[in-house]
Chain A
Amino acid sequence: MRIALLTEGAKRRPKGDPLAWCDRLVHGLNDHDFELYALCRDPQDTPERLAERHPGVRAVHTHPLWGPPPDGAPRGRVTRRRFLDCYQELAAALTARPDPPGAVDLADRFANGLYGLADLAHEHGGLPAALRSEAAVRALEAACRAPGADPLLGGATASDLLTASEALERALRPLSAPWYDQHTLGAADLCHATSGGPATLPGLLAARHLATPLLVTEYTVRLRDHYLGGEHARLPLRARALLAALYRRLAAESYRTAALLTPGNGHIRRWQERCGGTGAKIRTVHPGIDAARLAAIGEAAESGSAEEDDATLVWVGRVEPAKDLVALLHAFTRVRLAVPTARLRLVSGGGRADYLAQCRALATQLFPDEAVDSHHPGENPVAFEEIGSPYVPTPADAYAAGGVLVLSSVVEGFPTTLVEAMFCARATVSTDVGAVREVIGGTGLIVPPRNPSALADACVELLRDPRRRARLGAAARARALELFTAEQSVAAFREIYLDLVAHRRPAAPHTASALFALPAEAHLPGSWRPASGARRRAERAPAWAVRGTRRQPAAVGALGEEA
C-alpha cells in the first residue's frame, strides 16, 4: 500500500523531533510504501535533508511556505472573474460571525471557495499572485463591510486588509503545490496527515479529486496551537480574526472530510468534537512510547531488587513556567516536615534558563544545605540535574533515581514523562491536567493543580507506605505495557490503514459506474496496482478479454508485469 504522509514543518524546530512517531510508524510498517509530503517554513528544509532525517521514507516532496509568492497572476478575463467568485465565497465565509459549529451553510460556502481556488491553481497556476492582487484585497474589504459580517471586522483599516490578505495567501499556498496528479498524491492509496491545519489541505484536495481517503492524526490540537502561537499574536486584531477564521473553517472542513480522525488523547478529542468532528469518525490512538530502554528498570522494580525505603521524589521534564516547579518546591517544604529524610531531584531536559535560575534561587532560599553530623560536608535536599550530565546520562537513569515521580504541571498535553515513569514501575503523584487522568487510570495519585498542600499530602502518603508504592508501580507498569507501547500504536495504525483502504470508494468515473470495477486484490496490502500503461491496455482490450480478466483477477497483475 502506498501511504502519503502529509506534514507541516515548523520554522523553528523545537527540541525533539515532532515526527518521531512517524519514523516509528514508517519503521514498524515497512511492508507499506511511505512518501513524505512536507510543507516547509524553513529554507533549510530541502528534500535531501528531510530524507536524511526520516530514513525509510521512499520519496520526499517539499513545497515552500516561506518567501515572497511566485510571480505571474492568472491571465484572461474569464479566469480572473472565476478567481474573484471563488475568493468572494471564501471571504464571505471567513468574515461571518463566529457561529456555533454545525452551521452548514457557511461551511459549504467555505468549501466551495476553497476547492474553487484549488481548481484554479491546478488549471491555470498563479494563485499566490492573484491572492495578493488588489482585486483580492478589494473583495476582502467588500466582505468585511457586507451585512452579516462580524461587527469587529467592519472597522478594518487598509493596513488590516492588506496584512490579512497576505496572511491568507501564505496559509493557502499548499493549494498551489504540484502534487495533485496521477504520479504523486493520485498514486497514493491513503493520505495520512500528521497534524491538523494546513497539512490537511493536500489531503482534502486528494480526497475530493482522487477519492483518496484522508486520515488525520493530531497529537496536539493544531487550531489551539495557532491561537497560542507567534504568527497569530504578531498580526493586528482584525487580520488575526480573519486568519483564525480560516484555520477554524479549515479544521472543520478537514474533520468533516476525513475518513477517520485519530486524536492522541481525550483532550484533543474534545477539541475535534467541538470543531465539527463527529464521534463515529474519531478513534483515539495514544502516541506510543519506545519502552525498550525502560524495560530493565521496570523489571528490576517489580522483582523488588530496588532499594525498598527510597525516600526520593523525582521530577523530570522541560523547565517551563507551565510545569509549576515553584508549587513543587513549596509542596516539598511540607513533605520535609512530615518525612525529614525526603529528597527531591529535579531532572531537566532543556527549557527556559531564566525560570530554572528562579527555581534554583527559591530552592536555596527554602532549603539550606544539611549534613548528617558536624564532620561531614552538607548537601542540599533539592538537587538540580540535567539529562546528559554524568549523574543522569539518560532519561531512564532519571526515573531509576527515585521512588516516586511527581508531576506538578499546570498545563499538560500528553504527559510523556508520566508514561515513562509508569513503564519504570514507579508510583506517581500528578496534577489533574491535560490527559493525566486518562493516562494514569487508577495507578497513581491525582491532586488538583496549583495546590501545594494536596501535592505534599499525596507525596507523604506514598513515601510512608512502600508497599502501596510497589503495588501502584506494578499496576502502572501493567497499564503502560497494555496501552502505551510503540508496538500498540503501530498495530493500531496498521489496522486503521487496512480498514480505510478496504472501504475506499473507486476513484475514476469510468470505474465508478462499472460493477466489480476493482478486483479483490485491491483490498489487499502491498503494491497491487498494475502499471498505468497496463491499465490503459486493459481498457482497450476487447470485451471478452476484460470478462476473462474479471473472472480471474490474478491475471490483471500478470498482464501488468508483462507490460
Chain B
Amino acid sequence: MTDPRTTPDPAEPSARRRGPADPVLLLIRRHYELCACAVDPLEIAAGLEAHGITDRTAAQFRHRDVFSLAEELYARVPRETPVDVPQQRPTADELTVYRLAWHLLPAVVCAAGTAVWCALPARGAVIGGGTLLLALAAARTALRRGPLRAVPASGGAWCVCWLLAFALYGPWSLTAAPLAATGLLACSLALPPAAWCARRFALRARAVLAVSHGLAEFAAGIRPSLLATLGLFTLALSASLATCCAVLAHGARPDPVALGGVVALGLLLFTARLLAVHGFPAVAVVGTGGACAIEVLALGAQLLGRIPVLRFCGSPTRALIGAAGPGSVQAVACATAAVALIGYAMSALGHTSAHGGDRATTHVRPALADRAVAGDPSSGFTQVP
C-alpha cells in the first residue's frame, strides 16, 4: 500500500510513520463485515482480492499470500450470527385488488344465474347448467393468478366439475327434489376468502420457517396455523351460506344435512387446492376423485334400483335419503373425502419442503463485487461526488 520509494529514511525516527503494533487489526477493522459474514477463509480471500489486496500487500502483514492472511482473519474475527432477515414477499402470490376482482367473478356469474332462474323458474335445469359452465370458466381464470395458483394435475378439473354439478343437480336426480342453487352460490362466494386464507397460510408458514430452529419445531408451529386457516375458511363459507339461505329460501327452514354437505364440499375443495398449491396436486386429485366416486356409486345404485330385478341395489341409497334427506349423499361423500384430505394435509403441509420454491428467497446483502472498491474508505484520496 505504501510506495517504498516514498518511505522516509529510517535514520529519522521522528519522521517515520508509526503504525499500530498489530497491522492485521487495521485490516480487520477495515473489512470487518466481510470477515464476520464469511463462511470460509476462501471467501475472505476472494473479498480481499476484490478490494485490491494482493500477495504483495499480504507480505506487509507478514503473510506468504492472501490465502494465509485470509485464514488469520477468519480465525480472529468471530462469526456474526445474522439477525432475522426480512423475508422478501413474492409478488406472484399477492392478493391485489385486480386479482380479488377476478376471484369475485364466479360469484357474480352465479348471482346473475340465480336471478335469471328466479325470473324463469320453469327453465331451471338449463339456466343452472349454463350458469355452472360460466362460473367454472370464470373460476378457472381466477385460479390462474393469485395465492391459489397451482401446477395443474390431470383429472383435477373434471373432479371439481363433477362435484359442483352434483351439488346443483344431485338432489334433483336422486329424488326429483327442486334444484339447489344455494350450494353453488355459497361456494362461489367463498372463493375470495379462500384466496385470502391461502395467502395468510403461506405468509404464516414463511414466518414460522424463519424462526424455527429445526424441522420438528416447524411442523409443530405450522399445524395450529393450518387448523386456524381451515377454521377461518369454514367460518367464511358458513357465513356466505347463511346469507344465500336468507336471500333465496324466503323464510323456509333449510335442511341442515344439505347445508352440512355444502360446507363439506367447500372444505374439500379448499383443502385440495391448498395441497395442490403446496406441491401435492396428485393427492388433491385422489381426494376429490374419491368423493366423486362415492357420489357416482350412489347415483348409479339409485338408477339401477329402478330396474325391478335389481331393486336391492338401490336400497342403501334409498335408506340414506330416507333417513337424512336428499342432500345426505353429497354430505357423506364430501365429508369423508374432506376428513381424509385434512388428515393428509396435517402431515404433508408440516414438511418444510412443501413451503419451498421462490417463497424462501431473501435479500441479505449486495454482492461483494458490487460493494468492492466503490465504498472502500481506505482509498487514500477523497472521491468527489
Contact = CB atoms under 8 A, between A and B. Distances in A.
Contact of B47 (A152, A228, A274): A228
Interface in B40-69: 40-43, 45-47, 49-52, 54-56, 65, 67
Given A162-B209, A163-B361, A270-B65, A233 B368 contact: yes
Nearest to A274: B67
A330 B384 CA distance: 11
Contacts of B5: 454
A432 B52 CA distance: 10
B217 A158 contact: yes
Contacts of A162: 209, 352-353, 355-356, 360
Contacts of B380: 450-451
B357 A68 contact: yes
Given A224-B49, A237-B364, A453-B6, A244 B39 contact: yes
A237 B356 contact: no
B360 A227 contact: no
A530 to B, nearest CB: 46
A81 B40 CA distance: 32
Interface in A433-475: 433-434, 447-454
A159 B210 contact: yes
A234 B47 contact: no
B372 A322 contact: yes
Interface stretch (A57-65, A133-141, A190-198): A133-141
A248 B42 contact: yes
A295 interface: no
Given A161-B215, A411-B52, A132 B353 contact: yes
Interface in B20-38: 37
A228 B379 contact: no
Interface in B348-369: 351-357, 360-369
A157 interface: yes
Nearest to B65: A270
Given A157-B211, A236-B362, A236-B364, A223 B373 contact: no
Given A137-B215, A162-B353, A236 B82 contact: yes
Interface in A220-244: 223-224, 227-230, 232-237, 240-241, 244
Contacts of A362: 383-384
Residues of B in contact with A, size category: 35 or more
B43 A227 contact: yes
Contacts of A155: 81, 213
A506 interface: no
A158 B209 contact: yes
A358 interface: yes
Interface of A: 68, 98, 132-134, 136-138, 141, 145, 152, 155, 157-159, 161-163, 165-166, 223-224, 227-230, 232-237, 240-241, 244-245, 248, 270, 274-275, 321-322, 324, 326-327, 330, 355, 358, 361-362, 365, 410-411, 432-434, 447-454
Given A275-B42, A324-B379, A358-B385, 5 more contacts: A159-B210, A236-B362, A447-B3, A448-B56, A450-B52
